[in-house]
Structure 1
Amino acid sequence: MLIGEVARRSGVSPRMLRHYEALGLVRPTGRTVGGYREYSAEDVRRIFHVESLRSLGLSLKQIGRALEDPGFSPSALVGDLVRRTEERPERERELLGLLRAVDASAPAGWPDVLRIVALMQGLDSSSAARRQQAVLARPEGAPVPAELLAGAVLTESDPHVAGALRWALARSGGDAVASLAAGLRSADVDIRRRAVLAIAEMPEAPGATAALADVLGDPDPTVRGHAALALGRCGETAAVPALVGMVVEGDHDVEAAETLGLLSRDPECADRVLTALAGRLASPTADPATRIRLTQALVELPGTPVREILRRLTHDDDRAVALVASAFLTTLAERSADDEDEDEDEDDGTS
C-alpha cells in the first residue's frame, strides 16, 4: 500500500508516517518503481502497535525501545505512567482553581493577572513568613477574589498568617461569608473553627448573622463560643443560651458575662438573661465553682433584681458562694454611690 492509502486506513497522517520513518519506528518495506513508499501488511500492523502504545502515554522514544528490545520490561514503565496519570487530575484541578481565581479578579490587564498568580504562589509557600508577606504586600485597593482568600483562611494553620488573611478577606469587597459557608459545614473541626472566627470578625457582612446563628448548636464549644460572642456583641438575643452555657462551662466565661451585660442594656433582653442565670444558680446539679461564675456574671447586669439575688446569696449554704455574693454586693453599692456623686457634681456645675 502507498502512503496515502495507509494514512486513510490507519488514521495516521502522511506527515506523521514520515516522522515515524525518520525516527526508525516504522520503515516501509519497499519502494515502487517510481520511488514511492510501499507499506506491507506487517508495516501497517506495526503502525497500529505504535498508535496503541502512544494511547497509553508512552513517548516515541519509549515506544521504539518497547518494540525493538525484547528485554525491555513494561512493568516499571507502566507503573510510572499510572502514577503520572493519577497526578494529572490534581494538576488540572490546581490549574482550574488558578484560572478561576484570575477570572474572578476581573483583571484589567496582564499586570493584574500576574499579581493574582504571584499571590497564589506566595500562599502556596511552605514559609509562613512568605505567605504572610504575600497577603500584606498586595497594593492598596487591588482586587483579590474573596473565594481565593477564603480558601486560604480555611487551610491556614499559622495564627499570624491566618490573621492577615482574615484582615484581607474582610476588606476584599466580595461575598466573603458565602465563600466561607462550606467551611462551617466541614467535618473537620479545625476548618469550622477557622471559618467561624473569620465570619465573627466581619459581623456586619451580608449573611454573617444568619451564618453565625446556624452554628450556635455546633458540637464544638470553640465554634459555639466564637459565634455566640460575635452575635451577642451585635445585640442578637439568640446568643443568650450559648453565652450562659459558656459561663456554666467556664469557657471564656468572663467574655461571655461581659457580653450578657451588653445584651442586658436592652430591658426586654435583661429579664431573659437574668432568668437564665438565676435558673442555673438554682439548679441542684450546679457545683460551687459553677455557681461562683454565675454569681460573677450577675454583676454585669443592671437593675435592682440583681442586688436582690445577691442579697439572698449572701446567706447561701455554700460559704464560698456567700462570700463572693457579699463582696459583689458591696462593690455594686460603692459603684452606685459613685454614680450618685457624679450626678450631683454635674448638677452643681450646671446650676
Structure 2
Amino acid sequence: MLIGEVARRSGVSARMLRHYESLGLVRPTGRTVGGYREYAEADIQRIFHVESLRTLGLSLRQIGQVLADPEFAPSELIGDLIRATERRLAREQELLDRLRAVDASEPAGWEAVLRIVELLRGLASPSAARRQQAILNPEADAPAPVLAKALLTEADPHVAGALRWALARADADAVASLSPGLASEDPEVRRRAVQVLAEIPADAATELLASALADPDPQVRGRAALALGARGEAGAAPALVAMIVAGGNDVEAAEVLGALADEPQHAAAIERLLDGALAAADPAARLRLVQALAEMPRAIALESLRARVHDPDATVARTAAALAGVIEAQAPHGD
C-alpha cells in the first residue's frame, strides 16, 4: 500500500508518516520498483499504535521506547503522565481563575486590568505581610469573588481579618461570593465560610447558615447553630442541644439556647428537646445538660432540675439539686 493510500486510511498525513520514518517509529516494509514507499498491514497497524499512544500524551520519543521494548512496564510512565497532566491542568485552572477574576472586576481599561493582576499576584505570595499589603492597597479595588476566594483559603488570622474588612467594603453581594465555600469538599474551607457568614447580618447569610446545619462536620454545624441562635432562629435549637450533649462549646451553646428559650414562642419546643436529650444521654452528657438548665428560663429550669434530683448518677443528682436550690432561692417571695 502506497503512502498516499495509507494517509487516507489512517488519517495521518504523508508528511507525518515521513517524519515517523525519520524517527524510526514506522518504517515501510519495502519499496516498489519505482522506489515508492510500500506499507504492509503490519506497518499500518503500527501507525495506529503510534496514534493511540499519542492520545495519551506520550511524546514521540516515549512512544519509540514503548514500541521498541514489548516488555516495557506502562505503570511508571502512565503515572508520570498523570502527574504532568495534573500540573498542566492546575496551571490552566489558575489561568482561568485569573481571567475570571479580571472579568469580574469589569475593568474599564488596561490600567484596571493591571491593578487586578497585581492584586492576584500579591494574594498568591507566600508572605503573609505581602498578602496583607496587597489587600490594604487603596488602589486594589478588588472584586468580591476574588476577596471571598482568598478568604476561604487564608490561614493567617491577620490576613483573614484584612480580607473580611475588604470584603465588607466591596460593592457587591458578599454572601453570593461566599456561597461556594459551603459546598467545598474541604471542611476547613466550610468552617471559614460559616465564620464569615456569621458576621454578615443579611437575610441571605441567615439562609446559608441554616443550610449549614446539615453539614457533616460538627464544627461547621456548631458555628452555624451559634450564629443562627444569636439571631433568634429557633431552627438552631436541635443543633445547640446536640452541642451540649457532645460537649463541644457546650457553655456557649447553653447561653444561646437560653436566650432562645426566653422567647415564649420557642420555650415549649426547647423544653421538649432538653427533656428528650436528658432521657437518652449518658451520665456525662446529662451533667452538661443539667448545668445548661441554669441558663434556661426559671419555669423550664426548675421543672427539669427537680426531675433530675433522683438521677441514677449521684453527681448529676447532686448538681440538679444544688442548681434547683439556687434558682428557688432567687425566686420572688410567695412563688
Q: Name the TM-score, length of structure 2 as normaliser.
A: 0.68
Matching residue of 2:167: 169
- CA deviation string 1:180-225 (max 9, x = no partner): 22221222222222222222222x2352122122221221101111
In the alignment, the residues of structure 2 paired with residue 295 and residue 131 of structure 1 have an alpha-carbon distance, to the nearest angstrom, of: 47
Q: Is the 8 A contact 1:177 1:206 kept in 2?
A: no
2:317 is the counterpart of 1:322: yes
Q: Is the 8 A contact 2:298 2:327 kept in 1?
A: no
The answer to whether structure 1 residue 129 and structure 2 residue 124 are counterparts is no
Instruction: Tell whether 2:294 aligns with 1:296.
Output: no
**Residues of 2 paired with 1:88 and 1:306: CA distance?**
62
Note the C-alpha offset of 1:175: 2.2
Which piece of structure 1 moves more, 293-302 or 317-326? 317-326
- Confirm whether residue 252 of structure 1 aligns to residue 235 of structure 2: no
Contact residue 154 and residue 160 of structure 2 kept, 8 A: yes
* TM superposition shift of 1:75: 3.6
The one-letter code matched in structure 2 to 1:157 is: A
Matches of 2:97 and 2:229, distance apart in 1: 37
Change (3 A) 1:74 1:102: closer
Q: 1:325 to 1:208 in 2, by over 3 A?
A: same
Alignment of 1:6-85 (within 5 A): 75=61
Q: Secondary structure at the match of 2:164?
A: helix
Offset of 1:280 from its aligned partner?
1.2
Aligned to 1:158: 156
What displacement does 1:259 show?
A: 0.9
The aligned counterpart of 2:35 is: none
Question: 1:115 aligns to what?
Answer: 115
CA deviations over 1:109-163 (Å, ceiling 9, x no partner): 555444322221111011123223322x2329x6421111121122223333333
Aligned in 2, Cα 1:218/1:265: closer, same or farther, shift over 3 Å? same
1:335 positional shift: 4.5
Task: Please identify the structure whose Cα radius of gyration is greater.
Answer: 1
Pairing partner for 2:202 from 202, 205, 210:
205
Q: Percent identity?
A: 56
Distance 1:255 1:171, change over 3 A: farther
* Alignment correspondent of 2:12: none
> Which aligned pairs between 1:180-199 and structure 2 lie closer than 5 A?
180-199=178-197
Residue 261 of structure 1, CA deviation? 1.1
Q: Which runs of 5+ in 2 are unaligned?
A: 1-14, 20-58, 66-80
Cα pair distance change 1:307/1:98, threshold 3 Å: same
Which consecutive residues of structure 1, in runs of 5 or more, have no partner in the other structure?
1-44, 50-72, 341-351
Return the match for 2:301 from 284, 306, 311. Answer: 306
What SS class does the counterpart of residue 155 from structure 2 fall into? coil
Aligned residues: 266
The one-character-per-residue Cα deviations of 1:305-336 (angstroms, maximum 9, x if unpaired) are: 32122233233332211221233224334554
Rounded to whole Å, the distance in 1 between the matches of 2:213 and 2:60 is 58
Q: Distance in 2 between matches of 1:125 and 1:149?
A: 14
Instruction: Output the aligned Cα RMSD.
Output: 3.4
What residue is the counterpart of 1:240 in the other structure?
237
In the superposition, relative to structure 1, how do residues 86 and 289 fare at CA in structure 2: closer, same or farther (>3 Å)? closer
Verify the 8 A CA contact 1:196 1:223 in the aligned structure 2.
yes
Residues 249-296 of structure 1 deviation map (CA, whole Å, 9 limit, x = unaligned):
00111111111111112101011111111221122xx22211111011
SS of the counterpart of 1:235?
A: coil
Supply the distance in 2 between the matched residues of 1:154 and 1:316 (Cα, whole angstroms).
Answer: 46
Amino acid paired to 1:302: P
Q: Which secondary structure state, in structure 2, belongs to the residue aligned with residue 317 of structure 1?
A: coil
1:175–1:206 contact (8 Å) kept in structure 2: no
